[in-house]
Amino acid sequence: MTTQTNHTGEAVHVKHSAKQYIIGYILSLVLTAIAFVLALGHAMSFKPLIIILMILAAFQILVQLFFFMHINESDGPPYHAIGLGLALLFAFAFALMSIWIMSFGYHAQLVS
């Protein structure tokens, strides 16, 4: 339950509907299933697969933030959103750098 203000400035408690949680849950399941099928099915080569999995992960994060954590209904200071964006940037940077570093070992094995 969150508190919002109406047009007169009075605090109004807003309950989140079950419909919103069901939509978020179904979207999470669909995104996870797509990633699972692509990864296990070897549907494409490594580089496009990693790019698509990263895009699916970004969508999964957005679904979690908007449907379950209600990030768009926050009444806190705006710098919280900036901090969240920076944290996401660092998380994706670490993931991409890890993939990049791991690919060096893979290429070294192919050469020798």
Q: How many domains does the chain have?
A: 2
What is the distance between the terminal CA atoms of the chain, rounded to a whole angstrom?
A: 60
**Quick one: 65 and 110 in the same domain?**
no
Confidence of residue 31 (pLDDT cuts 50, 70, 90): very high
**Quick one: 53 and 27 in the same domain?**
yes
DSSP 30-69: HHHHHHHHHHHHT-S-HHHHHHHHHHHHHHHHHHIIIIIS
1 pLDDT exceeds 60? no
What pLDDT is recorded for position 91?
A: 85
Which domain, by its residues, includes 112? Answer: 77-112
**Quick one: 68 and 86 in the same domain?**
no
Q: pTM higher than 0.75 for the full model? A: no
**Quick one: 31 and 51 in the same domain?**
yes
**Quick one: 60 and 84 in the same domain?**
no
